[in-house]
A = this chain, B = another copy of it.
Amino acid sequence: MRSLLTGVQAQKASNVLADRLREGILTGALAEGAPLPNERALADMSGVSRASVREALRLLEVEGLVRTRSGRGGGSVPHLPGADMLERSIRLFTRGQRVRFGALLETRSAIEPQLARLAALNRTEEDLARLAQIQARFEDDSVGVSAWTHMNVDWHLAVVVASRNELLIGIWKAVSSLMHEATGLEEPYNLPEVRVAVRRVHRRILDAIQKGDGEAAARRMARHLDAYVAHIKPQAPPDLEV
């Protein structure tokens, strides 16, 4: 008797509505960009109060599934969750779990070589063109350390994007963003010999990507990251938290 009735648990109205809207958005029934009815109309249509409608919309907003704007012409529009949402939740996870800075390094070292491998296998001509263009910008040695670091980020991002694996790309973006926050972008790119070495290894990695040699791309990227870790690790105390 008891077991028959467990699990019925009256769902909260806002959750029920949020579930429906979420499914609609994820399946595409509610097209991205096409505004939802306003809150009062949703309340009338769904038979729940406006307060509950608002809670449902708030759930979806936090999940990255709608964007809400005030004022005339505002409202809630469906939006597919992207890398920014992933970054937010990975940030919360790392802060909440007190994840070590070293764990971020390990994560990046785990995935970026694979991203390089996939880039070698899946890159398009446009990818190669963009990579070549970014690589060319490295030749200018007159730029400051900040600009150089940004170029470096752009280079890695371009490689990563060429992999065509959206999930790994999203994770990579989140992790490297957290890393850059933690290091304050204070990377060792002021030393001329470091710049020369980075330029050379970047060239070799691109070479492998261009030739479609996934193994070489992965191997070289792994070594490149090991060198980076060797540079950065001594500066960060072992128990640094993000």
Contacts and interface: CB of A to CB of B under 8 A. Distances in A.
A176 B85 CA distance: 20
B58 A107 contact: no
Nearest to A86: B93
Interface in A52-86: 54-55, 58-59, 62-65, 80-83, 85-86
Contacts of A94: 167
Interface string A27-54: 0000000000000000000000001001
A106 to B, nearest CB: 5
Given A81-B92, A93-B85, A99 B167 contact: yes
Interface stretch (A110-118, A183-191, A197-205): A110-118
Nearest to A242: B167
Contacts of A165: 103, 106-107
A23 to B, nearest CB: 10
Given A106-B114, A111-B110, A167-B104, A62 B62 contact: yes
A95 interface: yes
A89 B99 contact: no
A142 interface: no
Nearest to A175: B167
A65 B106 contact: no
> Which of A51, A82, A90, A93 has the largest number of chain B CB atoms within 10 A?
A93
Contact of A114 (B14, B89, B110): B110
Given A55-B58, A93-B81, A103 B63 contact: no
A107 B167 CA distance: 7
> Which of A25, A103, A115 has the largest number of chain B CB atoms within 10 A?
A103
A182 to B, nearest CB: 13
Nearest to A118: B106
B86 A90 contact: yes
A145 interface: no
Contacts of A170: 93, 97
A85 B93 CA distance: 8
Contact of A65 (B92, B99, B111, B171): B92
Contact of A168 (B96, B106, B166): B106
A26 interface: yes
